[in-house]
Amino acid sequence: KILLQTVSQGSLDASKDLQKEFATIEKKREELADYLCEDRQKLSLEDVFSTMKTFRELFLQALQ
């Protein structure tokens, strides 16, 4: 019973920590949208990272 309580508490703590991390990421996403003059509701981090990856690849090609 004690083991189950410990595991349950650990899961709850991990869930709370994960929620805090997601809230932090969401806040940073909104700050990035503001910085880039983008719509907060439409800015996708996936799109931003994809654009950055493409830029990096093209930049490295240009250097060569």
What pLDDT shows up at residue 3? 74
pLDDT digits (tens, 9 = 90+) for 29-62: 999 999 999 999 999 999 999 999 999 999 999 9
Query: What mean pLDDT is predicted for residues 9-29?
Result: 92
pTM check: above 0.95: no
Structure tokens at 34: 């503001």
pLDDT over threshold 90, residue 63? yes
| Residues with Cβ within 8 Å of residue 29, at least 6 apart in sequence | 40, 43, 45
Q: What is the DSSP letter of 1?
A: -
| Residues with Cβ within 8 Å of residue 25, at least 6 apart in sequence | 45
